[in-house]
Amino acid sequence: MTLSPNALRNGLLTLWLVVLVGCQTTSTGTVDRSPSTSATSKHSTQPAQRSASSQSVRWRAPQKIDEPRTLWTRIRDGFLFEPSIIDNPRIDQQRLYFATQPRYFELTSQRAQRYLHYVVEELDKRDMPLELALLPFVESGYNPMAYSTSHAAGIWQFIPSTGQVFALRQDDWYDGRRDITASTTAALDYLTKLSDMFEGDWLLAVAAYNCGEGCVGRAVKRNQELGLPADYWNLQLPAQTMDYVPRLLALAQIVRSPQQYGAILPTLNDEPYFAQITIRRPLDLFKAAELASISTDEIKYLNPAFKHRVVTPSEPYQLLIPVEQAEQFSTALARLPDSERIPFSRYTVRRGDNLSQIARKHNLSVDALRQANDIQGSLISIGQTLMVPHGPTTQTASAPAARQQRIYTVQSGDSLYSIARRFNVEIKQLRAWNGVDTHLKPGQQLTLQMP
């Protein structure tokens, strides 16, 4: 059969319209998701109808063509939770809280820049959700010196007993809960254990990280016995935990779309901040800072687990040094004479001793003795070991006193005025440390710089 040119053209046009309509029908309502190439089989084999909170599907946030590649974009690309589960009034409420803290990301990112890349790397190695890299923002504001009223410490806020369960050594010289690498390993081990316990449901795992696996387990069992849904959103949990997961998801939502929520994320490069240098012999941390040409504050923020400036390890340990100074430090350390490694000796406090007597005995100022041992007042105890500096102590004696950072949880009825008065600090200091204005909310955590 012979077709005229007009008939052929009309037929092709009709065919093209049919194909176009079919494409529109099949694509409506779908989201482009790229499954992780290394997802664990435990998650990838879950039934399709399972709750989104337990599906292990990498959701990649839309990225503008001209958007630079930063640590934030890498975190977005590693989000494991689907956008639909971030649509909840409790999350909206937490997001509004962050909207009242315009300097939140500016202040916390100054601390997080040292540690965040390492945390992301470790999560990626385990193919864990990168939302979890935001968990220390919720726990401590990425402050390694954070210490709560329940005696939790470090960026991951381990209490002493849980720290011991996960092999975080705690003694007079070292607190593994503040060790950046050791505590991160412990936290990811714990979160993995909780995920396994709750069959891959990460929202339940995160909730259990806050209030304990027994707390969440009992709530799940109670709902199951009552014939109620047993997912996170339908559980009755402690008030703090009811806000804990929504706060994490609110942060994830802001990081995913900062412009949409009026947030400014400081630029963080997707590159390591520190290198790990193996140290096998005792070393003065201040001398280490000198060798690396960095400040003593920087060496302490990177190595906050050591309670004294002199590190006396019983086995090799990893000292964290900024990447750019790592080679310089290693070379200088290899050339350092033994006499300069530890310009200190130990002194055990005896009955009747006081700081003034010990200082006179060793030809030191009391301030130099305090600085060497991080003592804020004059209280010492029998049997306590003090580090006694050798040689000139002018620099040590004149150094400004270090401040202890403490986390305070806002209670009902609190105000900036009452908190400032209670801890003998100024209101403007509270505002500067936390990026707050006047609005406080019960459960909110504030950082205090205690003299």
Alpha-carbon distance of 252 to 120, in angstroms, equals 14
Alpha-carbon distance of 178 to 85, in angstroms, equals 33
Alpha-carbon distance of 254 to 211, in angstroms, equals 25
Q: Establish whether 67 is a catalytic residue.
A: no
Give the CA count within 13 Å in the CB-facing half-sphere of 385: 10
Angle subtended at Cα 295 by Cα 119 and Cα 291, rounded to the nearest 5 degrees? 95
Rounded to 5 degrees, φ, ψ at 257 are: -140, 70
Helix (H) or strand (E) holding 365: none
> 366-384: string of b/e by CB count within 10 Å (b at 16+)?
bbbbbbbbebeeeebeeee
Alpha-carbon distance of 346 to 373, in angstroms, equals 11
Q: Which of 82, 106, 122, 139 is catalytic?
A: 139
Q: What is the DSSP string of 226-248?
A: TT---SGGG----HHHHHHHHHH
Q: Find the largest Cα–Cα distance for the chain.
A: 117
Rounded to 5 degrees, φ, ψ at 159 are: -80, 160
Alpha-carbon distance of 145 to 167, in angstroms, equals 19
Which residues are designated catalytic?
Answer: 139
